[in-house]
């Protein structure tokens, strides 16, 4: 938005014209700063490939990657890959985060729950994502259930660990105040305890969403025929480095967009619970 002019009267009675930034000017700065590093990396990428420092079969240039994207769009494949991967991530993230919130609350608020569950979950957390693939194929076959379950496992642990740790340190005076108003159990958790640990909750959700995108690639190794993980694997087998880079860029962009959505939700929750 253009700068807005305002007339300001000086002490000697003279009137001068001044300018002040419009309502959108304050938001432009962080966006521009945030684009500086990606822009510099893009320029470096173009410069390195244009100068022939790295051969095209190892690092195709930005134009080649763009052409690969256009080709997949014209074939009607790119948006199907994006849509199916996004759907899998969002469903798996929702299931895993909900389970992590429930179990993390139990472990964080109950000494017995902590003693019973924390050691086992700590051990399971150390299992690599690819180690789950053969077991999930055996139990759930090669359909969507196995893929979404693997993503849910990835989303579970960041939420579980952050919530369990945060709830252990909620101010006891705040909890006593809630109980004085007759709050117990689930109502106490949702009205007092979770709002008190909102920053930790959002941090856990952001980590869980990032972990969901990481687990997506492993999930789409389970006999997939669509999705960005499949595109990565298929492009590797066919030597299409341009498509590999395209899939990596798309995963990065989608991860950032979904993270930004959680940031918007955080601001709304802060206004509601502050």
Domains delineated in the chain: 66-273 (1.10.3720.10)
- pLDDT of 28 reads 67
Query: Whose CA is closest to 103, among 153, 159, 47?
Result: 159
* Helix, strand or coil, per DSSP, at residue 236: helix
Split at pLDDT 50, 70, 90, the class of 113 is: very high
Look at the block and give the residue holding tokens 């194929």.
Answer: 137
For 234-266, letters b (16+ CB in 10 Å) and e give bbeeeebbbbbbbbeebbeebbeebeeeeeeeb
Residue 26 banded pLDDT, cuts 50, 70, 90: low
Count CA atoms closer than 13 A to 90's CA, side-chain side: 12
pTM score: 0.83
Query: Residues near 248 by Cβ (< 8 Å), separated by ≥ 6?
Result: 232
Given this model, what pLDDT does residue 273 score? 64
Closest Cα to residue 88, out of 151, 31, 43?
151
Least confidently predicted of 6-10, 24-28, 65-69: 6-10
Q: Is the pLDDT of residue 72 over 90?
A: yes
CA 198 from centroid of its chain's CA atoms: 17
Percentage of residues in the chain with pLDDT exceeding 90? 52
Q: Provide φ and ψ at 164, rounded to 5°.
A: -60, -45
Compute φ and ψ for 233, nearest 5 degrees. Answer: -65, -45
Measured in whole angstroms, the distance separating CA 51 from the mean position of its chain's CA atoms is 35
Cβ within 8 Å of residue 244, ≥6 positions away: 232, 235, 236
């Amino acid at each position: 938005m253009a700068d807005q002019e305002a007339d300001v009267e000086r002490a000697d009675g003279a009137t001068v014209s001044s300018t002040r930034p419009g309502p959108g000017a304050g938001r432009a700065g962080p966006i521009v700063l945030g684009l500086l590093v990606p822009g510099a990396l893009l320029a470096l990428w173009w410069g390195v490939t244009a100068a022939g420092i790295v051969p095209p079969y190892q690092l195709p240039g930005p134009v080649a990657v763009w052409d690969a994207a256009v080709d997949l769009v014209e074939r009607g494949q790119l948006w199907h890959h994006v849509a199916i991967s996004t759907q899998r991530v969002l469903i798996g993230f929702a299931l895993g985060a909900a389970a992590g919130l429930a179990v993390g609350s139990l472990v964080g608020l109950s000494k017995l729950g902590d003693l019973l569950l924390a050691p086992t979950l700590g051990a399971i957390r150390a299992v690599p994502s690819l180690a789950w693939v053969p077991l999930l194929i055996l139990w759930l076959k090669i359909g969507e259930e196995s893929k979404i379950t693997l993503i849910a496992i990835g989303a579970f642990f960041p939420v579980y660990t952050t919530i369990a740790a945060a709830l252990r340190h909620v101010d006891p005076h705040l909890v006593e105040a809630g109980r004085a108003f007759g709050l117990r159990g689930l109502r106490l958790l949702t009205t007092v305890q979770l709002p008190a640990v909102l920053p930790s909750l959002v941090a856990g959700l952001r980590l869980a969403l990032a972990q969901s995108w990481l687990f997506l690639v492993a999930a789409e190794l389970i006999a997939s025929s669509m999705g960005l993980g499949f595109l990565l694997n298929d492009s590797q087998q066919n030597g299409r480095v341009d498509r590999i880079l395209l899939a990596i860029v798309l995963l990065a962009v989608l991860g950032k967009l979904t993270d930004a959505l959680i940031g918007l939700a955080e601001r709304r929750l802060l206004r509601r619970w502050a």
